Chain A
Amino acid sequence: MITGSSHLLVVDDNKVNRMLLMHNLQEQGHCVDLAVNGCEALELLRTNPFDLVLLDIEMPEMDGYQVLSTMKSDVQLRHIPVIMVTAVDEIESAIRCIEMGAEDYLPKPFNPVLLRARIGASLDKKHLRDREQLYLKSLERELEIGREIQAGFLPTELPHSPGWEISACLKSAKKVAGAFYDAFYLESEQKICLVIADVCDKGVGAALFMTLFRSLLRFTIGATDAFGEHSPAVRLKYAVSLTNNYIADTHGDTGMFATIFFGMLDPLDGTLTYINAGHEHPLVVTSNGKYTPLGNTGPAVGVIPNVTFAVRDVQLQPGELFFAFTDGAPDSLNLAEKRFGRERLVSLLGNHTSAQTLLDDVYAQLTEYVGEAEQFDDITLLVVRRSPLSI
């Protein structure tokens, strides 16, 4: 049993009862406040932190039922345990109060041993609940810190290149995400790197691996600068293979992997050189809505060491766009648990006037579809559009 002083409120219109309870409770070492009716009790409860309330049922102005009902419908007060103080011939009233949310009841005249036991038990539960709340709050704080740190792993600004628009968004299902996008300019090659990836599973574990995958890809592609004249294909192969081998060799026992699309776009001629390692097929979409999926060129990253990743390329013509997403988008569930579906997603891609409006439109449609349902998975969208006027 948790011992120590607690702050208790005794609510009773009967002076003798108030005196008796206060005397007993003070003898037990508790700090006691008194209220003579329900209105006074609620006023005290709203201005002072109490650990427990001893509440009489029969009172003028506002009776015990009304006080209890008000407390239980108030988010600030509902967690405070209430012990009803009732005459022995009022057991039915006590049962009604327990059904309304009272913690326990105490028959009058008071038996000090019973009083001590019931208060002790209720306070124990209250203190455990308080600890649980504190623990949950500290977890929330930790997750919030994690979310902020993880947000730093997304690009703060997307690359700008004449004749090109790039837009992206990530909406995580939990505080932290297992999916990510990346877009950055590789100075040495005058190319734009585009990444969209989805780590298996969700939550903290996936988020940790997200930071690892993202960092490895960024580091390895950057390290290829030392190669000098090598082509985008060689650089992509190097970055994805090294990342794959590192994860598979070092973290193979965790079973964690990621599906990754890693492309390198030449903004001058629209060539997109890419590896699609098990990721949902991004689409190259013409302005009239026809599309070409960019299929897989290798397995998911981190599963099989020393596997070969093929490299392909595609050319984005003026007015065409590249649309990549994580499966959280087509797998979005509404309240009836029906999937949004890939077909519906693809049907939104025609008649685009800009990368950002397309992204906004897709995201709005997904949000409207999901409605009040809980978001099932991280939703990541990456749109790259070549201006129709570019040569």
Chain B
Amino acid sequence: MHDLIIERLEEESMSESIIDQATFDGLKQAVGADYIPELVSAFLEEAPALIAQLRPALLAGDAETFRRAAHSIKSNAATFGATRLFELAKEMESLARENRLGEVGNRVEVLEEAFSRAAEALKELCT
């Protein structure tokens, strides 16, 4: 099951860009290119703390903390067009909302990986 999800991520990332260009360009247009590095930097600073809440919450069965952290990650992923990160966070938020933490599986690891890739891609886009 775990391997399956990781494999899927790798397959998708081969065929899809990590950051949706249209969304990112839209953001750039909305706030101005000069402001993008500051925004990205805030995201890269805040997201690890949010991601770090997921695993302990999962182990403790704390669906509310898990859901809220996933919700915040989802919101920021949508802002930057980090498509895969957004989808994973959205799935995890739904599972937590429905009290189905037992079905989260290895999604936390997959999300961590997706965040790393998104962070790299965003840094590149800022240079």
B117 close to A (CB within 8 Å): no
For B31, list chain A residues within 8 Å (CB).
20, 23-24, 112
Closest to A86 in B: B75
Q: How large is the interface on A (under 10, 10 to 19, 20 to 34, 35 or more residues)?
A: 10 to 19
Set of chain A residues within 8 Å of B76, measured between Cβ atoms: 14, 16-17
Q: Which residues on the A side are within 8 Å of B42 (C-beta)?
A: 15-16, 19
CB pair B79 A16 closer than 8 Å: yes
- B27: Cβ under 8 A from any A Cβ: yes
Decide if A33 is an interface residue (CB 8 Å cutoff).
Answer: no
Which residues between 1 and 50 of chain A lie within 8 Å of chain B, taking CB atoms? 13-17, 19-20, 23-24
Asked if A15 and B46 sit within 8 Å, CB to CB, the answer is yes
Complex-state Cα separation, A160 to B8, whole angstroms: 104
Residues of A near B38 (CB, < 8 A) are 19
Q: How far is the CA of A87 from the CA of B31 in the complex (A)?
A: 19
Within residues 74 to 88 of chain B, which ones have a CB less than 8 A from any CB in chain A?
Answer: 74-76, 78-79
Scoring B35, B42, B72, B90 by chain A CB atoms within 10 A of each residue's CB, the highest score goes to B72
A108 and B75 alpha carbons, distance in the complex (Å): 7
Asked whether A14 lies within 8 Å of B72 as measured between CB atoms, the reply is: yes
Q: Is the beta-carbon distance between B90 and A89 smaller than 8 angstroms?
A: yes
How many A-B Cβ pairs are below 8 Å? 48
Q: Does A60 interact with chain B (Cβ within 8 Å)?
A: yes
Counting CB contacts under 8 A, is A293 at the interface? no
A16: which of B43, B68, B71, B90 is its contact (CB, 8 Å)?
B43
Q: Is the CB of B46 within 8 A of A110?
A: no
Interface residues of A in 133-155 (CB under 8 A from B): none
Contact B46 A16 (CB under 8 A): yes
Contact residues in A for B23 (Cβ distance below 8 Å): 109
Interchain CB contact under 8 A, B46 and A108: no
Instruction: Verify if B39 is at the interface (C-beta below 8 Å from A).
Output: yes
Chain B residues 60 to 77 lying within 8 A of chain A, measured CB to CB, are 68, 71-72, 74-76
A24 and B29 alpha carbons, distance in the complex (Å): 11
Kindly state whether residue B30 has any CB partner on chain A within 8 Å: yes
1/0 per residue A259-278: CB within 8 Å of B?
Answer: 00000000000000000000
CB distance from B30 to the nearest CB of A (A): 4
Binary contact track B82-116/A, C-beta < 8 Å → 1, others 0? 00000000100000000000000000000000000
User: Considering the chains assembled together, what is the distance between the CA atoms of A388 and B45 in angstroms?
Assistant: 95
- Bitwise, B35-50 to A at CB < 8 A (1) or not (0) is 1001100110110000
CA distance A304 to B13 in the complex (A): 97
Q: How far is the CB of B46 from chain A (nearest CB, A)?
A: 5
Q: B residues within 8 A CB of A24?
A: 30-31
One digit per residue, 1 when the CB lies within 8 angstroms of any chain B CB and 0 when it does not, for chain A 106-119 equals 00111110000000
Chain A residue nearest to B29 (CB atoms) is A112
Q: A89-B90, A109-B23, A112-B30 are in contact. Are A20 and B68 (CB under 8 A)?
A: no
Query: In the complex the two chains form, is A109's CB within 8 Å of B27's CB?
Result: yes
Among A13, A16, A20, A109, chain B packs the most CB atoms within 10 A around the CB of A16
- Pairs across A and B, CB under 8 Å, 16 listed: A13-B72, A14-B46, A14-B76, A16-B42, A16-B76, A17-B79, A19-B39, A20-B31, A23-B35, A58-B71, A87-B71, A87-B78, A108-B78, A109-B79, A110-B30, A111-B30
Q: Which residues of B contact A (CB under 8 A)?
A: 23, 27, 30-31, 35, 38-39, 42-43, 45-46, 68, 71-72, 74-76, 78-79, 90
